[in-house]
């Protein structure tokens, strides 16, 4: 039957193959568009080192950002960060193997982005336009987005057979609904505090991953090839 | 029982009252709360009265909040009564119970059913909360905050900013505090927080305290004769930020979205003539108005497209365009600002629809930048904006005549100098200079062309006559300048003809004034230069008008400590005459060098110091004199202050012998220099030395004369002391007495040995004749003797020490050598006979003292009776007198022939004697027994003692 078909419709077979190829290309294009990232192939060590440097930079800036934030929130703001707020991403990085932990870093970066954006919006209504807090918040948001993209590229390079799930592995942390001004202040403080802690952990994690993954690049690649 | 009665009575009274009034209680009481404004609205029906009693309680604690009688009219359309109450405490804080009754005078109805406005502290609302949140209130207002504590927690404290507040309990979970007279808050608002007993924040609120807007100075104008542009001042800060709290502006009802921060302006498309600005925020609004006619508020926009249709050397025209045609029909006043590298100036022009102006008094070959702004000439309001600048360059023109001068080095040699033309003088790039030397007497002319970088020319006016005129012209592409002439002045040294004065710098320059000269038709020239300069000096000059006889010489080239010579010349077409000359310092300094060639010269007890004058370039100021110091270590003692600077020597008088150090310092008005120091050591004078020698010689002569006289007068004593008569020994037989040295030549077969034996034995002490062959056993001293030694007896005094020193060390080679030498002649010398006996003793056993003590008779060779006890003692000790004493004259130790003890073979013979003759120069005096144990004086000292004491 198949021979018949083959004999009867050779052009159709060719067109199906072309269609399949076209579909694959479309899927790949859509996937790259959805990722929004153009990854350059770089050695494992240099790409991780680059991300590590960026993480250190963001972490250093996050320390200053938190300090600036507290200074601009008025009296007693030092105690705001001690209050408990729900739905703020947990700074801990989860996962057992490097791929899971790297995925956790990526999803955390993505999870923090809307919160940073929300804090920026809230503080825009509480600070004069010339406030340095607003520019620092904006910078932190952009750099974190860049870090997430870098982690994404590293993950794709190191673990090409492991797709990145669309949803964060640690579960979504939606931005809070409307808050009063005091709640906004507390929320921002908690977000920035956890953000700082997360970056500290990422710094350690990337350092560990660099020593683990990049020195055992081939075994991991082979392992991933099994999946 | 009484209480029951009381209750019944009250019930009865109540029934009686309600029944008596007949007022129906309000029905359908309803509560509506506006929590934002903290307003409680109470409505009820069926109250036919116009006065009602309202009672509000906190439900939980039943505390009275309000009990008030209010007048409320019935709403005719709805038939309801409505009464509003604003609570000082947020309505969320706790539940409120409200009841109403009608009142008609003293008659009241029954209370309505109690209505409860539930608070947020109900048990089903377990979270911690704080109210009000996010309110905006004016500065100075009072505000009550309440904290609802989470179920299960204990209240801790309430804080307003960083102030701990006093709380008030409203319910089981609610606590309130009131802040009065609130101050302005920061942009993010004022925090009010509530903490639990663990001092953890459990809830908080933010309040924004600020001001309503208060803008001012609304001014509207037109830039294009059509539209309106209004501006105003922001005024007092509202302290309120954010989308909801910031101030919003409207102009004539239209929003002004661009009015932000400090840019307080808003525009309208058409000129209305009246404008109202409304500024509004959450705390209130403020209105500003302005009204004006269009022609009175014209502020033109900047002209555009500036051009320069015509540009010349000294003027140019500038034109521009108007974007709005309306300005072409308006009388305008315009300012044109032109800027060159020299200066900036603004000129004003007017005209109907002005769009072109002519700029005058420009500089040739100069770059200019111009910009224009205009205003309405009629009903001028404000200048418009400056246009963009336009740059252009004027054309070149002939340069101005250079400023020339002549500086003569000598009678015939000098330099023609001219100042470089400035940008404003050259009128273009200078291409060169032309110099003409013209002598009318000789009718000769010499023309030289020099490049633009040369500003001087050496000249030689030899054989050119007494009057030589120099002419210099500058040239640029536009042509040559007018000629500049000067007649060569006569060369004058400082010392010639003209007196030189001093001129002082007064802070800005050197003020010079002189007597007017009759022939100064072209004014005066003042030149100056560094006085110490001798060749190719930098000469500067300035010109002074003929009617002026003073000037202030100013230059940026004056330096402190440099002397300048100023000369003023009268200038005419016929001659140049020197009128006066000055020297001056911009600032006098101490001399930079000390006086040179400082030298001292001794003149007896005086010292003359001479030095040279400090070179002019190192004087630093006018030398006022010199100070002479005597330097003692670091201390200077002023010796003289020489106030005549020409005097360069000083004599320091009446110095005693010794070393001196002198310091000479020159001083100016600024002080002394470091000082030159010179040292001199005063030596004794020659005639003093001669005198000292003469005195010494005279003294010696006198002393000799005295001694001679004394000796002459005491000559008998002297003879007796020095040459006592020796009694002749009485010997049996005929002994011929021979004078002088007795040479005894021993037999060739025998030698005389001086037998030394410290053990004095007179029986053995003798000169022993030793056979010649025994000589070898005596030692080396005899080996060198070729001839038989002869015994010689010298009448000679030999120093005792020399022999006595040698003898104890006869075993030494030196002693042997001495012995050998002595044995050359086998001389026997009576030397210190009495003592030598003792000195020879150490090598012999200690003799018995009794053996040494001889009798008191004449014993010319008597052996010393004493023998030294210690052989190690020095030679002096060997001079100690013998233990025994000689009672009488003891010329010498006794000599006994055939002494059995005289058979020793050494030279250390205790006593030498001759059986034939003894000639002694030694005092042969007995020892004083009383001197026993003391150091025995020498024979010379004894003699001297006797001489002094006059003893014979």
> Which residues of B lie closer than 8 Å to A, measured between beta carbons?
130, 133-134, 159, 161-162, 185-191, 193, 200-201, 203-206, 241-244, 260-261
Distance from CA of A76 to the nearest CA of B (A): 7
Give the nearest chain B residue to A125 (CA atoms). Answer: B242
Look at A127 and B186 and tell me if their CB atoms are within 8 Å.
Answer: no
> Please, which pLDDT band fits residue B595 given cuts at 50, 70 and 90?
very high
pLDDT surpassing 80 at residue B885: no
Look at B191 and A182 and tell me if their CB atoms are within 8 Å.
Answer: yes
Give the nearest chain A residue to B202 (CA atoms). Answer: A83
Q: What pLDDT does A163 receive? A: 77
The more confidently predicted of residues B254 and B411 is B254
Give the nearest chain A residue to B206 (CA atoms). Answer: A182
Residue B627 is inside which H or E element, if any? strand B625-632
Look at B191 and A185 and tell me if their CB atoms are within 8 Å.
Answer: yes
Contacts of A72 in chain B (CB under 8 A): 187-188
Look at A83 and B201 and tell me if their CB atoms are within 8 Å.
Answer: yes
Q: What pLDDT does B445 receive? A: 83
Crossing angle of helices A98-124 and A181-213, in 10° steps, is: 150
Instruction: Tell me, letter by letter, the H, E, C secondary structure of A19-62.
Output: HHHHHHHHHHHHHHHHHCCCCCCCCHHHHHHHHHHHHHHHHHHH
Q: For residues A74 and A127, what is the distance between their CA atoms, to the nearest angstrom?
A: 11
pLDDT surpassing 90 at residue B840: no
Considering chain B, what is the average pLDDT of its residues?
78
pLDDT surpassing 50 at residue B318: yes
The answer to whether A106 contacts chain B (CB < 8 Å) is no
pLDDT surpassing 80 at residue B115: yes
> Please, which pLDDT band fits residue B704 given cuts at 50, 70 and 90?
very high
| Among B238-252, B253-267, B375-389, the least confident range | B253-267
Look at A75 and B159 and tell me if their CB atoms are within 8 Å.
Answer: yes
B206-251: per-residue pLDDT in tens? 999 999 999 999 999 999 999 999 999 999 999 999 889 999 999 9
Q: What is the ipTM of this complex?
A: 0.78
Which of A211-225, B307-321, B405-419, B433-447 ranks highest by mean pLDDT? Answer: B307-321
Contacts of A132 in chain B (CB under 8 A): none
Look at B204 and A182 and tell me if their CB atoms are within 8 Å.
Answer: yes
pLDDT surpassing 90 at residue B928: no
Q: How many CB atoms lie within 10 A of CB A98?
A: 18
Q: What pLDDT does A170 receive? A: 54
Contacts of B201 in chain A (CB under 8 A): 76, 79-80, 82-83
Look at B187 and A73 and tell me if their CB atoms are within 8 Å.
Answer: no
Distance from CA of A172 to the nearest CA of B (A): 25
Q: Is the dihedral of CA B380, B384, B387, B389 positive or negative?
A: positive
Look at A128 and B190 and tell me if their CB atoms are within 8 Å.
Answer: no
Of A74, A80, A129, the CB nearest to B186: A74
Tokens of B823: 């044995």
Look at B205 and A126 and tell me if their CB atoms are within 8 Å.
Answer: no
Going residue by residue through chain A, which has 227 residues, state the pLDDT in tens, using 9 for 90 and above. Answer: 333 333 333 443 445 555 544 444 443 443 443 445 667 777 777 888 889 999 999 999 999 999 999 999 999 898 998 888 888 999 999 888 888 899 999 999 999 999 999 999 999 999 988 899 999 999 999 999 999 999 988 888 888 887 777 665 555 568 888 889 999 999 999 999 999 999 999 999 998 888 877 765 444 443 443 33
Distance from CA of A196 to the nearest CA of B (A): 22
Select the residue from A85, A127, A180 to test the B interface by mutation, using most B Cβ atoms within 10 A.
A180
Q: What is the mean pLDDT of residues B284-311?
A: 94
Is B868 buried (19+), middle (13-18) or exposed (0-12) by CB count in 10 A?
A: buried
Q: What pLDDT does B8 receive? A: 42
The more confidently predicted of residues B456 and A41 is B456
The answer to whether A113 contacts chain B (CB < 8 Å) is no
The more confidently predicted of residues B933 and B669 is B669
> Please, which pLDDT band fits residue B792 given cuts at 50, 70 and 90?
very low
Contacts of A125 in chain B (CB under 8 A): 241-244
Contacts of B244 in chain A (CB under 8 A): 125
B532-591: per-residue pLDDT in tens? 887 778 899 999 998 899 999 998 889 999 999 999 999 887 778 888 899 999 999 999
Contacts of B189 in chain A (CB under 8 A): 74, 126, 181
Look at A180 and B162 and tell me if their CB atoms are within 8 Å.
Answer: no
Is B634 buried (19+), middle (13-18) or exposed (0-12) by CB count in 10 A?
A: exposed
Distance from CA of B179 to the nearest CA of A (A): 16
Look at B130 and A182 and tell me if their CB atoms are within 8 Å.
Answer: yes
Of A77, A125, A129, the CB nearest to B191: A77
Number of inter-chain CB pairs under 8 A, A vs B? 74
Give the nearest chain A residue to B135 (CA atoms). Answer: A181
Q: What pLDDT does B5 receive? A: 40
> Please, which pLDDT band fits residue B786 given cuts at 50, 70 and 90?
very low
Give the nearest chain B residue to A131 (CA atoms). Answer: B187
Q: What pLDDT does B77 receive? A: 86
Is A34 buried (19+), middle (13-18) or exposed (0-12) by CB count in 10 A?
A: exposed
Q: What pLDDT does B469 receive? A: 86
The answer to whether A182 contacts chain B (CB < 8 Å) is yes
> Please, which pLDDT band fits residue B736 given cuts at 50, 70 and 90?
low
Tokens of B736: 């011929």
The answer to whether A74 contacts chain B (CB < 8 Å) is yes
Give the nearest chain A residue to B242 (CA atoms). Answer: A125
- Partner residues linked to B143 by β-bridges: B179
Contacts of B130 in chain A (CB under 8 A): 182
The answer to whether A131 contacts chain B (CB < 8 Å) is yes
Q: What pLDDT does B927 receive? A: 44
- What's the pTM? 0.56
Select the residue from B158, B183, B191 to test the A interface by mutation, using most A Cβ atoms within 10 A.
B191
Q: How far is CA B559 from CA A73, B213, B533, B620, B622, in A?
A: 64, 65, 14, 10, 15
In this structure, the strands spanning B892-893 and B860-861 are parallel
Q: What is the mean pLDDT of residues B638-660?
A: 89
Distance from CA of B207 to the nearest CA of A (A): 9
The answer to whether A163 contacts chain B (CB < 8 Å) is no
Residue B922 contacts residue B836 (beta carbons within 8 Å) = no
Q: What is the residue-wise DSSP string for B808-821?
A: GGTTSHHHHHHHHH
Of B159, B200, B242, the CB nearest to A126: B242
B350-365: per-residue pLDDT in tens? 999 999 999 999 999 9
Residue B93 contacts residue B121 (beta carbons within 8 Å) = yes
The answer to whether A79 contacts chain B (CB < 8 Å) is yes
The answer to whether A126 contacts chain B (CB < 8 Å) is yes
Query: To the nearest whole percent, how much of chain B has pLDDT over 90?
Result: 47
Backbone phi, psi, residue B625, to 5°? 160, -165
User: DSSP strand E in B240-282: where?
Assistant: 248-251, 254-255, 265-268, 274-281
Q: How many CB atoms lie within 10 A of CB B716?
A: 9
Contacts of A126 in chain B (CB under 8 A): 187-189, 241-242
Select the residue from B148, B165, B204, B282 to test the A interface by mutation, using most A Cβ atoms within 10 A.
B204
Contacts of B206 in chain A (CB under 8 A): 74, 180-182, 185
B185-205: per-residue pLDDT in tens? 999 999 999 999 888 899 999
Of A82, A83, A181, the CB nearest to B206: A181
Q: How many Å separate Cα B885 from the centre of its chain?
A: 93
Per-residue b/e over B789-804, b at no fewer than 16 CB within 10 Å? Answer: bebbbbbebbebbebb
Give the nearest chain B residue to A186 (CA atoms). Answer: B204
The answer to whether A76 contacts chain B (CB < 8 Å) is yes
User: Which candidate, B829, B837, B897, B892, places its Cα nearest to that of B861?
Assistant: B892
Q: For residues A27 and B917, what is the distance between their CA atoms, to the nearest angstrom?
A: 163
Look at B187 and A82 and tell me if their CB atoms are within 8 Å.
Answer: no
């Amino acid at each position: 039957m198949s021979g018949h078909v083959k004999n009867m419709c050779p052009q159709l077979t060719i067109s199906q193959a072309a269609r399949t190829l076209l579909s694959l290309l479309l899927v790949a294009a859509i996937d790259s568009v959805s990722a929004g990232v153009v990854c350059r192939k770089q050695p494992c060590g240099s790409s991780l080192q680059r991300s590590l440097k960026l993480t250190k930079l963001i972490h250093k800036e996050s320390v200053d950002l938190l300090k600036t934030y507290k200074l601009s929130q008025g009296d007693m703001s030092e105690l705001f960060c001690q209050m408990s707020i729900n739905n703020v991403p947990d700074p801990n990085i989860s996962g057992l193997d490097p791929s899971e932990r790297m995925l956790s870093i990526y999803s955390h970066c993505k999870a923090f982005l809307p919160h940073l954006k929300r804090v920026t919006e809230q503080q825009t209504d509480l600070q004069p336009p010339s406030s340095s807090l607003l520019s620092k918040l904006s910078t932190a948001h952009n750099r974190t987005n860049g870090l997430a993209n870098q982690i994404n590229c590293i993950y794709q390079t190191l673990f090409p057979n492991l797709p990145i799930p669309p949803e964060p592995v640690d579960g979504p942390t939606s931005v809070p609904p409307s808050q009063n001004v005091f709640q906004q202040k507390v929320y921002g403080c908690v977000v920035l505090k956890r953000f700082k802690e997360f970056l500290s952990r990422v710094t350690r994690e990337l350092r560990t991953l660099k020593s683990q993954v990049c020195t055992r690049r081939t075994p991991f690649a082979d392992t991933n090839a099994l999946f | 029982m009484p209480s029951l009665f009381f209750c019944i009575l009250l019930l009865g009274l109540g029934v009686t009252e309600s029944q008596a009034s007949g007022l129906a209680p309000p029905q359908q009481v309803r509560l509506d709360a506006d929590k934002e404004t903290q307003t409680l609205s109470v409505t009820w029906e069926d109250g036919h009265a116009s006065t009602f009693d309202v009672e509000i309680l906190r439900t939980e604690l039943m505390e009275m909040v309000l009990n008030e009688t209010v007048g409320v009219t019935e709403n005719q359309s709805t038939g309801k009564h409505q009464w509003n109450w604003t609570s000082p405490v947020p309505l969320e804080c706790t539940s409120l119970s409200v009841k109403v009754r009608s009142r008609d005078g003293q008659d009241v109805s029954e209370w309505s059913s109690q209505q409860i406005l539930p608070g947020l502290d109900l048990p089903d609302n377990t979270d911690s909360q704080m109210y009000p949140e996010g309110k905006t209130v004016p500065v100075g207002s009072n505000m009550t905050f309440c904290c609802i504590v989470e179920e299960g927690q204990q209240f801790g404290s309430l804080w307003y900013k960083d102030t701990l507040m006093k709380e008030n309990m409203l319910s089981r979970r609610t606590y309130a505090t009131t802040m009065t007279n609130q101050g302005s808050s920061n942009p993010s608002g004022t925090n009010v927080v509530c903490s639990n007993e663990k001092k953890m924040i459990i809830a908080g609120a933010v309040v924004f305290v600020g001001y309503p807007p208060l803008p001012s100075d609304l001014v509207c104008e037109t830039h294009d004769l059509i539209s309106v542009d209004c501006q105003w001042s922001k005024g007092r800060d509202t302290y309120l930020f954010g989308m909801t709290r910031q101030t919003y502006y409207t102009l004539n009802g239209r929003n002004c979205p661009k009015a932000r921060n400090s840019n307080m302006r808003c525009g309208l498309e058409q000129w209305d003539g009246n404008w109202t600005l409304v500024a509004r925020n959450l705390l209130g609004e403020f209105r500003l108005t302005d009204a004006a006619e269009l022609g009175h508020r014209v502020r033109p926009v900047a002209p555009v497209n500036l051009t320069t249709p015509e540009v010349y050397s000294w003027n140019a025209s500038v034109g521009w365009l108007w974007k709005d045609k309306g300005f072409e029909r308006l009388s305008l006043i315009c300012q044109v600002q032109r800027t060159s590298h020299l200066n900036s100036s603004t000129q004003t022009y007017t005209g109907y629809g002005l769009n072109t102006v002519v700029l005058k008094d420009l500089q040739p070959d100069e770059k200019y930048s111009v910009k224009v702004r205009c205003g309405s000439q009629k009903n001028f309001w404000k200048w418009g904006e400056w246009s963009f600048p336009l740059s252009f360059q004027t054309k070149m023109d002939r340069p101005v005549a250079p400023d020339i001068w002549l500086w003569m080095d000598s009678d015939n040699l000098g330099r023609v100098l001219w100042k470089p033309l400035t940008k404003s003088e050259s009128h273009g790039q200078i291409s060169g200079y032309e110099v003409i030397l013209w002598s009318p007497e000789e009718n000769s002319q010499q023309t030289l062309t020099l490049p633009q970088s040369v500003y001087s020319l050496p000249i030689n006016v030899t054989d050119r006559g007494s009057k030589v005129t120099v002419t210099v012209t500058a040239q640029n592409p536009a042509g040559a300048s007018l000629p500049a002439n000067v007649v060569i002045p006569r060369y004058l040294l400082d010392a010639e003809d003209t007196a030189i004065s001093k001129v002082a710098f007064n802070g800005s320059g050197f003020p010079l004034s002189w007597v007017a000269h009759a022939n100064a038709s072209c004014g005066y020239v003042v030149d100056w230069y560094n006085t110490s300069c001798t060749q190719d000096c930098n000469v500067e000059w300035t010109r002074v008008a003929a009617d002026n006889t003073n000037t202030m010489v100013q230059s940026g080239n004056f330096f402190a400590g440099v002397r300048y010579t100023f000369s003023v010349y009268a200038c005419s077409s016929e001659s140049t005459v020197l009128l006066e000359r000055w020297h001056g310092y911009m600032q006098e300094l101490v001399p930079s060098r000390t006086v040179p060639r400082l030298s001292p010269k001794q003149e007896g007890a005086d010292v003359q110091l001479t030095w040279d004058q400090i070179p002019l370039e190192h004087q630093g100021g006018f030398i006022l004199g010199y100070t002479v110091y005597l330097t003692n270590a670091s201390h200077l003692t002023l010796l003289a202050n020489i106030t005549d600077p020409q005097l360069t020597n000083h004599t320091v008088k009446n110095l005693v012998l010794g070393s001196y150090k002198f310091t000479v310092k020159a001083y100016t008005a600024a002080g002394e220099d470091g000082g030159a120091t010179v040292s001199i050591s005063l030596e004794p004078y020659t005639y003093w030395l001669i005198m000292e020698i003469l005195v010494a010689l005279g003294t010696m002569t006198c002393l000799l004369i005295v001694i001679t006289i004394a000796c002459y007068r005491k000559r008998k004593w002297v003879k007796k002391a020095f040459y006592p008569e020796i009694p002749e020994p009485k010997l049996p037989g005929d002994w011929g007495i021979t004078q002088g040295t007795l040479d005894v030549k021993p037999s060739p077969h025998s030698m005389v040995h001086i037998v030394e034996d410290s053990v004095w034995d007179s029986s053995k002490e003798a000169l022993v004749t030793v056979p010649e062959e025994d000589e070898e056993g005596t030692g080396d001293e005899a080996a060198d003797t070729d001839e038989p030694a002869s015994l010689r007896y010298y009448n000679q005094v030999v120093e005792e020490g020399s022999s006595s020193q040698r003898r104890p060390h006869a075993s030494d080679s030196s002693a042997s050598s001495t012995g050998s030498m002595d044995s050359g002649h086998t001389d026997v010398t009576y030397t210190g006979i009495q003592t030598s006996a003792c000195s020879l003793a150490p090598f012999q056993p200690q003799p018995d003292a009794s053996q040494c003590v001889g009798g008191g008779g004449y014993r010319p060779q008597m052996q010393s009776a004493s023998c030294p006890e210690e052989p190690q003692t020095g030679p002096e000790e060997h001079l100690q007198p013998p233990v025994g004493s000689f009672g009488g004259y003891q010329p010498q130790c006794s000599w006994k022939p055939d002494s059995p003890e005289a058979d020793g073979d050494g030279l250390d013979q205790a006593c030498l004697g001759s059986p034939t003759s003894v000639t002694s120069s030694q005092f042969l005096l007995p020892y004083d027994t009383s001197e026993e144990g003391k150091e025995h004086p020498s024979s010379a000292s004894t003699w001297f003692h006797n001489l002094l004491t006059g003893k014979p």
